[in-house]
Each structure stands twice: as structure tokens, then as C-alpha cells.
Amino acid sequence: MVVTRKISRNKYLFAFLITLIVFSLGLLLGLVIENKRVKYIELQDETQKQDINSLQLQYQIIDAFGEEKNCEAIQKTFEINAQNLENLRDKLEKYQANANLNKKDFDLLKREYTLAQIKFWLITKKTKSMCNIDAATIFYFYADAKNCTKCQDQAVVLTYLKDKFGSNLLTFVFDSQLKDEPIIDLLKKVYGIQTYPTLIINEKKYDGFTTKEIILKDICPKMKNTTIDLCNQYQTVIIS
């Protein structure tokens, strides 16, 4: 009445092999997707570069001929550029957060993105006054969760405001830990950045987490020709 015991060695081996293959395929799939994401960002980066070049040339033409009626065209390119830059940042952040093996590639892309931002900012400075564009500027210096517990919160507030203001709010986002790019250090020195998050709103520095209300107080007065619902309260206060 006893069982002759057996060990299903072959089945264990076969099951282990299948499991290994399935997990390896999963890993491979992850890698393929990651590579595709790197390629996608590269392409977006390239488009961004062209857009900035175009904007720069447009500015130079207007500057040379002094024809302010061309401002309409430049404003359109400006808006598209601002939007594309934001899209690029969004994808770059998301893909890098999920990246496992191509972190370095994403760092390189981030560097390119940072340079694109600065170029865009420099052109913005000139075109804003020349073409009377309603746009507030925010520089946002952040660090990873380990070094900055409130950066996640700050990002939520900025994304919200960006969604509300569209191209009327230009946010320039700088990863303070991007060691390879000397411009970051330069900007940090220029603005005396020591804590994270730090915001530079229209050239005024705010250390630590800055609430939605404080930001609105500072950026709303810049909206002279544009009606933004969120600004009603702050604009009225100023008028009165």
C-alpha cells in the first residue's frame, strides 16, 4: 500500500527553461522598447533643434528689417516651439524613469534638451519684448527624490500651471545633477542655487517648495493682453 516515489526531473528542467525563456523574452522586449524610446527622443531633439534654428532666423530677419507685422509668424513658431519643448521634456522624464539599461543614453539626450531649452530661452528674451508676447518665465532647478523631497510636489504645481497657461508660461526645467553639462553649474552659480527645489520666477528667486498661489501672484501681472481664469483674483488685486 505504498507509493513508489519519483522526482519529475525532466519536468522541472523543462519548466525552468520555459520560465527562463519567457523572462528573457520579457527583458528583451523591454530593451527593444527602450531603444525605440531613445530613437524617438533623438528624433524629437533633432526636430527641436530645427525649430530653434528657424526661430532664431526669423528673429534675425525681423531684427534686420524691423518689420513688426511679421511678429504674428514668429509668435506662432514660438508657441509651437514652447509646446514641443514641453512634450519633449515630458517624454524624456517618463522614459528615463522607466529605463533600465540605457540610462546613459537618456542622460545624453537630457543634455541636448537642456541646451535646447537655454537656446530657446535666449531667443525668448529678445522676441518677447520686440513682439510684445505675454509670457512669464520660470526656471525650475530640481534634484532626485533622495536629495529633494519636495521636487515631486513642485513638479505637480508647475505641470498644472503649464496646462492652464499654455505658451503664456515658459518653464525651463534644469536637472541640477546633470554633471556633464557645465551650463547647469553656471546657472546655479548665477542664481546662487543651493537648495532644491528652487524657482526663478521672472528673475526672482524662491527657495524650497513654492505654492501655486505665490507663483500666480508673480506671473499674473505679466499677462497684460491675455485672459487667464486663474489670474482673475490676482489681476483684480493689482488693478484695485
- Is 36 a binder of other proteins (CB under 8 A)? yes
- Is 222 a binder of other proteins (CB under 8 A)? no
* 104-143 residues near other proteins, rule: CB under 8 A: none
- Is 212 a binder of other proteins (CB under 8 A)? yes
- Is 146 a binder of other proteins (CB under 8 A)? no
For 113-122, b/e burial (b = at least 16 CB within 10 A) is bbbbbbbbee
Query: Residue 208: phi, psi to the nearest 5?
Result: 75, -175
Cβ closest to other proteins, residue 103 vs residue 125: 103
Longest distance between any two alpha carbons in the chain, whole Å: 104
d(CA 37, CA 50): 20
Binding test (CB under 8 A) with other proteins, winner from 153, 188, 234, 235: 153
- Is 237 a binder of other proteins (CB under 8 A)? no
- Is 97 a binder of other proteins (CB under 8 A)? no
d(CA 117, CA 92): 13
Residue 125: name the closest of 78, 84, 89 by CA: 78
C-alpha cell at 60: 534675425
Residues of this chain that interact with other proteins (CB under 8 A) are 1-3, 5-8, 11-12, 14-16, 18-19, 22-23, 26, 29-30, 33, 36-37, 40, 87, 90-91, 94-95, 98, 153, 156-157, 159-160, 163-164, 211-212
